[in-house]
Amino acid sequence: MGQLRYSIIVPVYNKEEYIAPCMDSLLLQMNESDEIILVDDGSADSSGKICDEYAAKHSNVKVIHQANSGVSRARNKGIKASEGQYLLFIDCDDTVDDGLLEEASVLMQNSLMMIFGMSFDYYKDERLIRNEILSYTSDCRYTKKQLEAAFLELFETNSLSSACNKVFLGDIIRRHQIEFNEKMYLYEDLDYVLRYLSYAEDDSVIEIVKHPYYHYRLSAAQANVNSRISDLSRLISNMNELKKGFAMFEKTSVSKDITETKYAEIYLDLLYHHLISSSKLKQSVETILSKAKIDETGIKFEGNRKVLYECIQNKNAAGLEKYIRQRRLKRQIRQTVKKLIGK
């Protein structure tokens, strides 16, 4: 047999109840020239055992067990073990629609990447209560050189931010040893995508498919970002790493003004959410003003971004603290009114 067609890398951690739906959605559309690489990231439940059971039943399923080290290291181990011409990254509690691999087999024959839509499926008590579709406006294609004109729209439609809604060329990943940044825990997928694109030729083709093939499972608890950004020092360190990915990308693809603006927007939004929920506001403000570095940009921000950006640039601790307290008060008033109306 020649080179495998697809290597589908699935990191697994304490998701015993969701592995079967994920695997079934993949195995349904695979053939003998495809492989799934399950990387058990030191699960404490029966996830590792379930992975071994799938490998025992299916010759094209591999299992790697590692001590708990995080999703990025799990993916990187999967990359090193992969043999496929094309690589996909799927989370073990998510599913994909039938037809994904078939369409990718056609579109990826002469392409750098395929990007497809995502459905964010919200569950409560194991019942789907709503879904939110994020996908590009239409089926289309761009060359890497054309990315600058479409960059902001691609970003806003989630077409760049995730590694899970893409098909990558294994040759580029292996030749340039592109790995997920294990120092990051936020936007590590975006960082990976930007670095992958930075190695491509200008005439490389990116195929975009509107259909939401990927179903991303969410609960109300997962939707709350504040718990992930409570550690301000870790957040700032994470954003310093992301800036390196943007810097690589802008050298080959998109102007500095566009990349710095998008980076600043991400950073400002995360800092705002941290400040709103911080139990030590004064300390957080001081840390942000001394350690958070956001370059000047030609784009004028609005709303929360504008205030944070100006306070950071001007080292205005009092102004920033006052603004956050005002925003907290307004939020509390809205919540109180909402409760009263609900009664």
pLDDT at 91 over 60: yes
Rounded to an integer, what distance in angstroms lies between the CA atom of residue 56 and that of residue 62? 9
Higher pLDDT, 142 or 339: 142
pLDDT at 342: 67
By the 10 Å C-beta count (0-12 exposed, 13-18 middle, 19+ buried), 228 is classed as middle
Let me know whether 183 and 40 are in one domain: yes
- The contacts of residue 32 (CB under 8 Å, 6+ apart) are 1, 59, 60
Pick from 103, 239, 88, 249: nearest CA to 163: 88
- Map tokens 């599913």 to a residue: 95
Rounded to an integer, what distance in angstroms lies between the CA atom of residue 150 and that of residue 208? 12
Let me know whether 214 and 324 are in one domain: no
Pick from 53, 59, 71, 52: nearest CA to 30: 59
Torsion sign over Cα 275, 223, 194, 178 = positive
Let me know whether 127 and 270 are in one domain: no
pLDDT in tens, 228-286: 899 999 999 999 999 999 999 988 778 888 888 899 999 999 999 999 999 999 999 99
Let me know whether 129 and 241 are in one domain: no
Examine the fold and report which residue of 190, 219, 248 is the final residue of a domain before the chain moves on. Answer: 219
Let me know whether 89 and 174 are in one domain: yes
pLDDT at 1 over 70: no
CATH of the domain at 110: 3.90.550.10
Q: Is the pTM of this model over 0.85?
A: yes
Let me know whether 256 and 144 are in one domain: no
Let me know whether 152 and 61 are in one domain: yes
Let me know whether 72 and 201 are in one domain: yes
pLDDT at 255: 82
Domain hosting 266: range is 226-342
Examine the fold and report which residue of 166, 194, 219 is the final residue of a domain before the chain moves on. Answer: 219
Split at pLDDT 50, 70, 90, the class of 221 is low
pLDDT at 278: 94
Q: C-alpha angle with apex 41: 104 to 3, nearest 5 degrees?
A: 35
User: What total number of domains does the chain contain?
Assistant: 2
Split at pLDDT 50, 70, 90, the class of 337 is confident
Let me know whether 65 and 189 are in one domain: yes
- The contacts of residue 49 (CB under 8 Å, 6+ apart) are none
Let me know whether 186 and 328 are in one domain: no
Tokens representing residue 33 in the block: 């020239």
Let me know whether 50 and 154 are in one domain: yes
pLDDT at 252: 79
Examine the fold and report which residue of 168, 184, 219 is the final residue of a domain before the chain moves on. Answer: 219
pLDDT in tens, 160-173: 999 999 999 999 99
Let me know whether 81 and 173 are in one domain: yes
Rounded to an integer, what distance in angstroms lies between the CA atom of residue 13 and that of residue 128? 22
Chain-centre distance of CA 294, in angstroms?
Answer: 21
Instruction: Note whether 123 and 134 are within 8 A (CB).
Output: no
Tell me if residue 88 falls in helix, strand or coil.
Answer: strand
